[in-house]
Structure 1
Amino acid sequence: MVDQIDETVRSLRNLKHLHQGESEKVIRWVRGESARRLADGDPGYLGDLGIALLACHRDEPKAWQYQDIFDHLLRLLIGDAGKGDLGQALRLIGAARHSGHDVDRVAAALLAANRRRVSLTAVFAEDGSTAGVSDTFRACVVHELVLREGTISRRKTIADWAASPAMRNQPLGWLPLHLAPFELDGDQWPHATRPDRVATVSPDVLASWPATDLITPELSQALSAPVMNWVEDSNGRVETGVFGLAEPVRPQSVPEVLAGLGMDFLEPVDGPFRLDVHDTSVWDVWQTLFRAASGGGAYSRGCHGAYSRLFAWQALAALAGASANSPHDEVARSAQACTWHRFDGELPGFFRIFWDIGLVGVRPGGGSIAVLAATDTD
């Protein structure tokens, strides 16, 4: 088998000397051979090949083919067709972690998607069979399941691990082990009863609303967490703001207040512009944040379910005025007590292609608001 692995690795290494058609042919052959080996009962071939590819990728980090085939092997072993091998999959997940190739999030999402065909309790076994996998990976599996099943209370082995110090020491350990009401079906949330408010904003209105800038680096980081993949891996821009207002904001004055805060996204290019403000619900806000993180931007791949849930909760807490260390039930109460709006229109800061987000949270009493604006483009 060693000779066959070496031959396959050489064929992939030589792709840089081939034209596109020949390269695609090699990739198809490697994928097909891997699927055939698995179907013939030889999952060890996929595990050995995957580990060899990790070494190649470490030596040639810019060579795309190694990660491409490794990810394909992982998908086969996790069992997209119900015929994978969890033992070899866990072997690759552990080896990838030690090689600096982070597959925890995607592997957890794949396992949860195949949960009806794979015994996930093996991931949490304490018999040494999963010694190579990380607690981060296990925590991701927990919350991928929460997203799909609403709770993990019916999975005792997994629920026991989720209650352990290992889970509490993870960033994901802050999240609830059940879905909050605003993470469920949106039909329960009332639609706007007031008409949308539209304002044509003149330049002399900007930066004229009396307000105190309350943003901190920690708040900005939490607010922008769902869209940082847009910024870091694509062409995205993000702006955040938290403001204390001299007098409470009324629903009908949200457009003028928003335009008067001096945010760069609303800085006019040449003359007046149109700003549309729409009433919305906490459910819609959470869904927007979660989709931004999980779906990615124009060129980013997204963060998968578990960490997308974390980033959406962090941003929601910051928008609602809850402390970053607040219990999740307190965050939920704060979010449900806010008045929520989204904004769009012919705005100078938006690319107006597809990836535009404008969210406003008005805290109870109207004395402070938080704003998240983000955009991306191809």
Structure 2
Amino acid sequence: MSDERILPDPAELKSLAGARPDRLRALASELASDRRLPHLETLFTEPPRSATDSEAELRACVLGELALRGVPWRERPAIEAYAERLRELGHPLARLPETRLDLEHRFGARTRGVGPVRSAGQLRARFPEAPDTAGGVAAGATARETPDAARSRAAAGAFTAGGWAKEPEARFFALPRPLRDDDFGMAFLRGLPLDCLAGEPGRGGMLSCLTAADDAAAQLYVAACDGGVNGRPQYGAYARLHAWEGLYALLGLPPGTPFLDAVRYAADSRWLRFMAFTSWFHHDTADVGLAVLDPSRTRVAVLAATDTDESDDMLGLARRP
């Protein structure tokens, strides 16, 4: 079948009015995956009427999917004009970089044999462990929580949008003095009043490993793109938006911060992945623990999320005495 025959005709596009967001996002992903740019360009001949129009939403998602795939569309006047009009209208996807940044190199990547980390051995095999220190224990006791509901929602947005089975935990803390890099580990995290680390752990214990900003961003992207096991896939364009919003929230950056400045700030921060066999986590399909220490070494953000097959979970509860 030729590309021209697969591309939706104007009548089909009109029929998308009022379509569910997931249908539009799935179609955009399919178009960006299967279409060459010269054929897609015909989608952008008329400027968008509003940021909420279904046809504009489809095209905004196509542009976002193309950016993820590293497909350049600069110097194509119709597409450039359409993208500029989306920015003028305030479409949320139009705020994102037009091309994929180095920080995003793992967005959408599928590496054979590399899936969710489900055991302490897997975590240690992929990342260097952050040893516990006496300084970390002492510093954890001095941390002061700085609640921020809006920032918490943004930090957890990828998991919430993806329909993970449990409400994520996103918490923020300030320290009276800079924390040494070597003291940023599980001993420090255990001193914080985190629900996900409360109680005595099971046989798997607790551990933390060093990671980097691109790994944290990729975790946010996957959480939204694929959705929870019983959740709602957001597809690439919106998963990218949730990943950036979550990253900015974890770093405590204002929304208007330029993306390259955010990348530099993230690189100067110190990142941890952590795992804890506590009752808060499901220990089933996916568990995520992330913590970041800002460049001043005086502010910490922690994000934890867990997912399970809710039908299996309820079945297990029904079988318990």
Shift of 1:210: 2.0
- Does structure 1 retain, via aligned residues, the 8 Å contact 2:24–2:57? yes
Query: More displaced, 303-312 or 249-258?
Result: 249-258
Q: Which of 222, 242, 249 matches 1:318?
A: 249
1:229 aligns with: 161
Shift of 1:127: 8.9
CA separation of 1:170 and 1:256: change in aligned 2, threshold 3 A: same
1:54-133 counterparts in 2 under 5 A? Answer: 82=3, 84-88=5-9, 91-98=11-18, 103-116=23-36, 119-126=39-46, 133=54
CA separation of 1:350 and 1:312: change in aligned 2, threshold 3 A: same
Q: Which of 279, 292, 306 matches 1:361?
A: 292
Q: Which of 285, 295, 299 matches 2:226?
A: 295
Q: RCO (CA 8 Å, sep 6+): is it higher in 1 or 2?
A: 2
Shift of 1:101: 6.5
CA separation of 1:83 and 1:155: change in aligned 2, threshold 3 A: closer
Matched, 1:372 2:303: yes
TM normalised by structure 1 equals 0.67
Structure 1 distance, partners of 2:295, 2:140, is: 23
CA separation of 1:122 and 1:319: change in aligned 2, threshold 3 A: same
1:263-278 counterparts in 2 under 5 A? Answer: 263-268=194-199, 274-278=205-209
- Does structure 2 retain, via aligned residues, the 8 Å contact 1:124–1:161? yes
Shift of 1:154: 5.2
Superposed CA RMSD: 3.2
Structure 2 distance, partners of 1:125, 1:256, is: 58
Give aligned pairs, total. 284
Structure 2 distance, partners of 1:299, 1:242, is: 29
Alignment partner of 2:210: what SS?
A: strand
- Does structure 1 retain, via aligned residues, the 8 Å contact 2:282–2:307? yes
CA separation of 1:359 and 1:150: change in aligned 2, threshold 3 A: farther
Q: Which of 322, 333, 338 matches 2:264?
A: 333
1:242 aligns with: 172
Shift of 1:259: 1.2
For the pair shown, which has the larger CA radius of gyration, 1 or 2? 1
Residue type at the aligned position of 2:26: V
Aligned-pair identity in percent equals 30
1:10 aligns with: none
Greater share of residues in helix: 1
Alignment partner of 1:126: what SS?
A: coil
Q: Which of 171, 180, 183 matches 2:92?
A: 171
- Does structure 1 retain, via aligned residues, the 8 Å contact 2:210–2:271? yes
Q: Which of 74, 79, 93 matches 1:153?
A: 74
Shift of 1:291: 0.9
Structure 1 unaligned segments of length 5 or more: list them: 1-78, 187-191
Structure 2 distance, partners of 1:168, 1:334, is: 29
Alignment partner of 1:356: what SS?
A: strand
Alpha-carbon deviations, 1:280-308, whole Å to 9, x = none? 11111111111111111111241000000
CA separation of 1:182 and 1:99: change in aligned 2, threshold 3 A: closer
Alpha-carbon deviations, 1:39-60, whole Å to 9, x = none? xxxxxxxxxxxxxxxxxxxxxx
Residue type at the aligned position of 2:268: A
Matched, 1:220 2:143: no
